[in-house]
């Protein structure tokens, strides 16, 4: 008789325990998933700077808008990443910005001011500003080809 009374009073105890432990478990689970998403985003931003530097090193300076658009994967991989977040600079031997094609020796690309939206449930949503990713490469052809050589289209 005592066991029947005890089981009647404890019938909802398992549900309450699961609600408490389950909420904590799902918070940890979604935090791990969100951390993986954050690492994917950081890796992709690093790849964006690498792609932009490589394209800018071999493409004409006049095609900078096309280079940026291709480097950010046409905005299809990471939400919120736009051409405004990617900066391309052409540098001389002293790493100063130059506008003259003859003085360009390096190409530097930077992702700046990108905001990553965290999606962890039960916590207030917040934006994380990504660190500044930078890639510098030596310039190559910059879209020009010597006389008598094949002209290769950049894009």
Work out the mean pLDDT of the chain and round it to a whole number: 85
Residue 150 lies in a domain: no
Three-state SS across the chain? CHHHHHHHHCCCHHHHHHHHHHHHHHHHHHHHHHHHHHHHHHHHHHHHHHHHHHHHHHCCHHHHHHHHHHHCHHHCCCCCCCHHHEEEEEECCCCCECCCHHHCCEEEEEECCCEEECCCCCCCCCEEECCCEEEEEECCCCCCCCCCCCCCCCC
Domain membership of residue 153 (yes or no) is no
Q: Is 123 inside any structural domain?
A: yes
Structurally, the chain folds into a number of domains equal to: 1
State pTM to two decimals.
0.79
Domain span including residue 103? 9-138
C-alpha span between 119 and 36 (Å, rounded): 12
pLDDT at 117: 86
pLDDT tens profile 40-77: 999 999 999 999 999 999 888 888 899 999 999 988 88
pLDDT digits (tens, 9 = 90+) for 101-150: 888 999 999 999 999 888 876 667 678 889 999 999 998 888 776 665 56
Q: Which residue is listed with tokens 């790493």?
A: 95
78 Cβ contact partners less than 8 Å away, ≥ 6 residues apart:
41, 44, 45, 72
* 144 domain-assigned: no
Cβ–Cβ under 8 Å, residues 103 and 23: no
Q: What is the pLDDT of residue 144?
A: 74
Residue 149 forms part of a structural domain = no
User: Which backbone phi and psi does 101 adopt, to 5 degrees?
Assistant: -60, -35
Query: What does the pLDDT average to over 77-105?
Result: 90
Name the 3-class secondary structure at 126: coil
Q: Is residue 1 part of a domain?
A: no
Q: Is the pLDDT of residue 32 over 70?
A: yes
Residue 146 is assigned to a structural domain of this protein: no
In a domain, 58, yes or no: yes
With 0-12 CB in 10 A as exposed, 13-18 as middle and 19+ as buried, what is 150? exposed
């Amino acid at each position: 008789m005592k066991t029947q009374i005890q089981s009647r009073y404890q019938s909802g105890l398992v549900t309450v325990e699961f609600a408490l432990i389950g909420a904590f478990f799902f918070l940890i689970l979604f935090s791990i998933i969100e951390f993986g998403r954050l690492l994917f985003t950081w890796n992709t931003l690093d790849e964006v700077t690498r792609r932009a530097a490589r394209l800018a090193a071999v493409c004409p300076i006049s095609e900078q808008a096309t280079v940026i658009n291709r480097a950010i994967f046409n905005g299809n991989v990471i939400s919120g990443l736009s051409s405004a977040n990617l900066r391309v600079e052409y540098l001389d031997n002293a790493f100063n910005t130059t506008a003259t094609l003859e003085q360009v020796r390096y190409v530097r690309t930077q992702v700046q001011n990108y905001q990553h939206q965290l999606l962890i449930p039960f916590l207030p949503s917040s934006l994380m500003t990504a660190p500044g990713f930078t890639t510098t490469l030596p310039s190559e052809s910059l879209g020009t080809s010597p006389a008598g050589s094949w002209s290769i289209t950049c894009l």
